[in-house]
Every structure is written in C-alpha cells, then in structure tokens.
Structure 1
C-alpha cells in the first residue's frame, strides 16, 4: 500500500466519491424537501403565489413581461410550470407532456358540467388583449437532472465538493512535487560539480517509487564521487610523481650537453623542447587537480578588472610578437570583482594565449569588457581571435580536459587541451560562466561572465 500508484489512485478515487456523495445528498435532500412540501399542502400556497405574480405581471407588462417572468421562474423552480393558451400551446413554446394535455381535457369537461369549483391558481391568467393562459404544474417531470441544474440547489454542495477536492489535490501535489523538487536541486548541484549531494535523508519514511528513485540517485552520486575522486587523485599523484624523473632528466640533459662538445646540439635541443612541454603539461595537470579539489578557492580578493586586463595584455604581447599578431584592449572600464586573483589571472591568461595560438598572422586578438544586459550584477569579458574557429558541434566540449578540434585547432599548435578546462573551473569557482561562439566573419570568441563585487 506504500506504492505511489496506489496513493494516486486512492486519492483521486476518494475525491470522486466525496464529490458524488455530496451531490447525491443535496439532490436527495431537496427531493425530500419537495415531497414534504407536497404532503403538507404548501405547494398549493406556492402555486397561488405564482398565479398572483403572473397575473400582476400580465396586467402591468403584457405578454413580453409574462414571458420573462415565466423564464425566470423556470430557472429557479424545480417543478416545471407551463402557461398554456386556449390553443394548447405553451407560452415559452415548450413541448407539453401528454399527461398535462389529458389533465386539461378533464378540467374542460368538469367546467362544462360545472361539477366543482377551481382553486385560485387554476383560474386563467388574463392579458389586457383578452387572451388567457392556464398555469399547469408538471409534477411528473421533477428529475434529478433538473434539480442539479437549479443554481440555488447545486451551488452549496458544488462549492463544498470543490473545496474538499482542491484540498486533497493540493496535499497530493505537495506530497509528489516536494521530493521531485529536492531531486531537481540535487541534480543541478551535481551538474555544477558538487558530487556530495544526497537526497535520501530528506525523503523521511517514504516507501514508494520516488523513494526508490532517490535511493538510485544517491547510489549514482556516490559512484560518480568515487570515480571522479579517484580520477582527480590519479592526476594529482601522477603529476607529482612525474616531477622527480623530469627534474633528473633535465640534469641529465645538462650533463649530456657538456659531454657532447656540440656534436648533438640539434637532438639535445629537441629533447629540451619536449622536456619543457612535458613540464608545462604536468603544471597544468596539477593546476587542474587543485581546481577540481577546490584548493585556494576560499582565498578571495577584490580585483580591478581593467587593471588586470591591461597587465595581461602587456605580458601576452611578447608571445603575440613571436607569432606575428597583436593583442588589443578595445574597451574596458573600472569595475571590481571578487575572486582569487591568481586563479582568475591564470584563467584569462589561458584564454588569451589560446587565442594567440590560433589567430592568423597580421591580425589581432581583441579583448573587450561590457555590462551584462541580462544581469546588472555581472560583467562580460570577451576574447576574440581571427582564426579558423571551431565546428559548432564541438563548441560545448572545448572546455573539457584534453579535448581538441582535429582540423583547425589540433596538436600542431602545441597545446594539450587543458588551458580552457583550467579557465572554466577557475571562473566557475566564483559563480562565473564561460562559453564559446563562432563569429560570423570568421574567428572564435570566448565570453567570460564574472560577478561584480558587492560594495
């Protein structure tokens, strides 16, 4: 009985039963009320009142006023009441039941023989033009449908049934959506890199499909945490362990240069270049592992972004000169952000260096800063190159470790596919966001959204 299927089924079933029971109770109560009125003879009093009202309306407003009065009466009275003229037609042109026609024939016969005197409500309602209408109640046509269609009969039970069903549905909706909302928030946290999220403790004593889903979710999160934790530890340990043989290799290279007497300079230069690349790769792996572990994330500085960009451009211009391009700061303004100065400097530097690698000769890497139109609490830094760009399907993956575009942005550039991954993690540590987009006139732009520092 703890399964969610049965909870939903029984809740809706109970709501329908309550709704139907209230309607049946109201209808039966009203029918009993009508029967009681008939038993004590009060129906004659009501009919006499209706007759007097109709006669007054007929004298004052004529046939049109009489039609309006009869129409209103028909919509409020459970007993159908007809006004029939001498030709046997109803004033509202309704179909007259056969038993009423027979009743009129019997009355006509009694009147012709003068057998009995008619009560007041059986007298004809006369109009100023001389025409007359007889008021005939149709007790045989009191149906449940007609009673339910009368607003004053159905209004209260409908309101009560609606309130009860709304309360049941509200509780059921809350019961269903609260754990789903908790799952949604936990999923968002995991997507953002927080693998410590668990939802089973917030489920309480639930024993249904949602609780099963929460348990499966926690097992998945635990497994992911272990796998990614092991991966990060492996990268960190491998990077540290590689530093020692790399240092010994550099010492051996120096000794080899001394003993070669210049006979193997070309080969030794190549070895030195590869050692430098390997050293750079190890440094990037260590930086990535520190970012993944959140090291130094708690150390926050107030940073003037205009000043930081100017310093970065000055340093990057040396590398740009060797590649026959330039680095330009097109637009900047004083604004403060909160982040770790070293990490943010490294993140933007990686993006700029990446742009320098791929921009064409005699072009410029353009850096600009602007307000975020969609969020006044943040700014956007744009770094644009004039290179070949990247395939559209690869844009979401450019910030994953060791991802390269095979054609334009490949291994020939000398990169390891870690620069943008490091930049993304450094920016995200402080609530920022980084994305890539191809420009219509060739080139790739990297957009870095940063949160302003609160005053």
Structure 2
C-alpha cells in the first residue's frame, strides 16, 4: 500500500540528505584544510598578496580606502584578517581575541627581524600620516557558519550539491509525469470518442498506484467500449428491423383506405403522418449509427462550399415558404474543404431545417460564410435564425442525441432531437467543430468551423 507515496517521500528525503551532506562535507573540508595552512607556503603567498592590496588601497585612498578594502575582503575570505595598530585596535573596530594580542606581545621584539625576511602576516601597512597596521590572520576563529556565509568559498559545493539534487528530482519528475501524461492523452482520446485507447501496456513493470490507475482506466475504457458498441449495434439492428413492419404498415394503410370508402379518412391520415415520422426517425437513427461507426469516413472529396450552400438553399426554400420565412446566403465566396459531400450536405441541411423550424414568420434564416480569424486555413459557416433562442444552460447539450429544448417538446413541430446530433457527428468526423450561441438581439446561431482543403 502507498508504494508511490514512499517512493516520493524517500526520493525527496534522500535528495535533501545528499544536498546537506555535500554542503557540510565541502564546508568542513575547507575549514579543516584552512586551519592547517598556518605554516604552509601557499597561505603565506596569499597573505602577501592581501598585504600588497591593502598597502595599495592605503596609499591611494588613505584610511578610508583601507577600511573599504578590508570590509570587502572580510565578506569573501573565510579566514578573519585583522589590521591592528600600535595601540592594539582593529581598523574596523572589531574585537580582537585575547590569544592574538598575547601572540603579538610575544612577537613584538621579533618584528624587525621578521620584516627583514620579507613580507609576512605580521608585516605593517603604513599610511601617509605615519600610522602603521599589522596584518594578522585569525585561523582559530574560522567557523562553519562563517564559511557558509562566504559566497566565494561555498559557491562550488553548493553548485555541485544543487546539480546532483536537480538530477535526482528530474529523474523523479520524469518517472511520475510520463505515465500521467500518457493517461491524460488517452483520456482526451476517450473524450473524443476513441474508446480503443489502453495505457497499462505502456507502464512496463511498474507496481505502484499509477500502474493500478492505468489498469482501472483500461478496465473502464473496455467497459465503455462494450457498452457503446452494444448501444450502436442495438440502434442499428432495431432501425433495420423496424423498416419491415413499417413497410407492411404502409401497405396495410393503403388497403384500409381502399376498403374504408372515405369513412375513416381523418384517422387514416393521422396514421400515415405517424408512420412518416417513424420512418424519418428510423432514417435518422441509421444515419447516426453510420456516423458513429465511421462509415464513409474515407470517401472524401474536394467540396466547394459556395456551390453546396447554394444548392442547399434551393432545396430549403420550399420548406421555408411553407413556414412563412425565407433562407438567405450572405457573403458567399469560393472555398473548398475535404469531406464526404453527401454527409456534409446532410449535416448543414439539418442545421438549416432546424433554424427554419424555429425562426419567426416573416423573418429570414441567414447563412453566412466567414473567414476564420482565430484558426488559419479555416472557414466558418454561420446559420442564424430569429426564433426564441435556447436557454444558456442548454447550449452545451444542444448536440446530444435526443436532446430537445422544453418549448420544442411541447410543440407539434418538435423533432426527435437527432438532427443536430447527426450534424455534430458529421462535422467532427472531418476535423471540424460546431457550436451554438444565442444572439444578443434574439435568435440562435450555429457556427460550423471547417478546415480548408490544401491547394
């Protein structure tokens, strides 16, 4: 249990331990190395360089220049260095340890002899006014805190420790995010309708919560694939099976008309109307099943959208006249897309017929071609009616199967809720997009985005 938790916990804990250990080891090593350098020639050379720098600063800017130089040196050097005058005071007014004062007293009588041997850590820095300062390194006052506070000293150990810890964190992040990214992509494919996605095989030999999640995801995807497959098959089979009894009903209706001698004409007309509605519903169900199954997806050709819309308007105008409205094509221009011409015509026709159904009398259903400003090489077909619109909460669900607005359910003109669903499947089948929006001055607009065909 909680295998992933312990991996994350131990990895971060180990990283912190390694980082801290490297810094402490480097600082301690430097500290120990520095404390043993009192009699080493390299340390004397370094102090000699400091002496020359201090003498140059004093000569150029006097006591203020000497103070500024010593302050800068103290901020970068791990070894405290004092400049002590004849009165035993530090130039920066720092407290001088007693053992340094005692050491200076013991060596005072040997100062002249030490100066004759050349620069040393007791050599004097002289000012123009005659005052002189002895440079005294304090090896015993080197502390770990002082080492850690000096960027020049601690920079390299910190950089090495940071590099090692960054590498560990990078590997851990990669180990955690790769399978999660694979799950994210698979989820997007599932949401887009591709129920064949599986992620467990890509997990390799992982044995943690992410691998368990991948297994659960695959089980869910497999179950969804079976359920939706069975649903599509049921719709397809039921639609096919219903065609035969409907055909027999139509034959029986014709015989009933002959034998009734006009005595039940009203009732028979009603039966005929319902048979036609059932026939239309079955046709839509079959079309929806074909689209969801991907039938005819490969039968694509270059379709001129202006010609398609002009032909569609000619057919839709007859239905519009019976509703007391008209259909107009605005801003038409030549543009070609790659699609199945029959499916694309049917999809846009469903949208236009839906608009005709709900637009107000004496208004127009407007079909507008627009260049897409957001996505290059795309066009937008806008179909707008002047009807009551749709409640905002219904807009995201408008293209779901059997989804109808409540007002449409209560009217005789309400359809079966499949027209826009069929249009949505057909448009998305070729990489397009279809959305709905209410217009500020009333009415509903359906926006169909299609990818232009390459020249």
TM-score tier by shorter-chain length is over 0.9
Cα-to-partner distance string for 1:405-443 (whole Å, 9 max, x where unaligned): 112565522311000000000111110110000000000
Deviates more, 1:142-151 or 1:128-137: 128-137
Report the counterpart of residue 369 of structure 1 in structure 2: 369
Q: Distance in 2 between matches of 1:171 and 1:47?
A: 45
Q: Distance in 2 between matches of 1:116 and 1:377?
A: 89
Report the counterpart of residue 166 of structure 1 in structure 2: 166
Structure 2 contact 57–69 (Cα < 8 Å) conserved: yes
Give the CA deviation at 1:291.
0.8
Report the counterpart of residue 68 of structure 1 in structure 2: 68
Q: 1:49 to 1:425 in 2, by over 3 A?
A: closer
Report the counterpart of residue 79 of structure 1 in structure 2: 79
Give the CA deviation at 1:87.
6.4
Q: Distance in 2 between matches of 1:283 and 1:406?
A: 24
Give the CA deviation at 1:206.
0.9
Counterpart mapping for 1:199-210 below 5 A: 199-210=199-210
Structure 2 contact 312–349 (Cα < 8 Å) conserved: yes
Report the counterpart of residue 101 of structure 2 in structure 1: 104
Give the CA deviation at 1:402.
0.7
Give the CA deviation at 1:201.
1.0
Structure 2 contact 301–341 (Cα < 8 Å) conserved: yes
Q: Distance in 1 between matches of 2:298 and 2:111?
A: 106
Structure 2 unaligned spans of 5+: 116-120
Structure 1 unaligned spans of 5+: none
Q: 1:43 to 1:178 in 2, by over 3 A?
A: closer
Cα-to-partner distance string for 1:253-308 (whole Å, 9 max, x where unaligned): 10111111111111111111111111101110111111111111111111000000
Give the CA deviation at 1:77.
2.2
Give the CA deviation at 1:166.
1.7
Counterpart mapping for 1:341-352 below 5 A: 341-352=341-352
Residue 445 of structure 2 aligns to a residue in which SS? strand
Residue 273 of structure 1 aligns to a residue in which SS? helix
Q: 1:427 to 1:56 in 2, by over 3 A?
A: closer
Residue 407 of structure 1 aligns to a residue in which SS? helix
Q: Distance in 2 between matches of 1:287 and 1:402?
A: 14
Give the CA deviation at 1:364.
0.3
Cα-to-partner distance string for 1:225-260 (whole Å, 9 max, x where unaligned): 111111111111111111111111111110111111
Deviates more, 1:411-420 or 1:328-337: 411-420
Deviates more, 1:59-68 or 1:38-47: 38-47
Report the counterpart of residue 181 of structure 2 in structure 1: 181
Q: 1:41 to 1:449 in 2, by over 3 A?
A: closer
TM-score, scaled to structure 1: 0.92
Q: Does 1:27 align with 2:27?
A: yes
Report the counterpart of residue 147 of structure 2 in structure 1: 147
Report the counterpart of residue 396 of structure 1 in structure 2: 396
Q: 1:259 to 1:147 in 2, by over 3 A?
A: same
Q: 1:116 to 1:295 in 2, by over 3 A?
A: closer
Structure 2 contact 368–381 (Cα < 8 Å) conserved: yes
Deviates more, 1:414-423 or 1:28-37: 28-37
Q: 1:254 to 1:170 in 2, by over 3 A?
A: same
Deviates more, 1:294-303 or 1:431-440: 294-303
Residue 431 of structure 1 aligns to a residue in which SS? coil
Q: Distance in 2 between matches of 1:323 and 1:139?
A: 102
Residue 390 of structure 2 aligns to a residue in which SS? coil
Q: Distance in 1 between matches of 2:221 and 2:344?
A: 29
Q: Distance in 1 between matches of 2:318 and 2:145?
A: 90
Cα-to-partner distance string for 1:49-106 (whole Å, 9 max, x where unaligned): 534442343223312221232123213322111224466654334x415x34x74378
Residue 37 of structure 1 aligns to a residue in which SS? coil
Q: Distance in 1 between matches of 2:366 and 2:111?
A: 111
Counterpart mapping for 1:228-307 below 5 A: 228-307=228-307
Structure 1 contact 26–153 (Cα < 8 Å) conserved: no
Q: Distance in 2 between matches of 1:186 and 1:45?
A: 67
Report the counterpart of residue 423 of structure 2 in structure 1: 423
Q: Distance in 1 between matches of 2:102 and 2:205?
A: 75
Give the CA deviation at 1:14.
2.3
Residue 413 of structure 1 aligns to a residue in which SS? coil
Q: Distance in 2 between matches of 1:293 and 1:84?
A: 93
Give the CA deviation at 1:370.
0.9
Q: 1:23 to 1:289 in 2, by over 3 A?
A: same
Structure 2 contact 34–139 (Cα < 8 Å) conserved: no
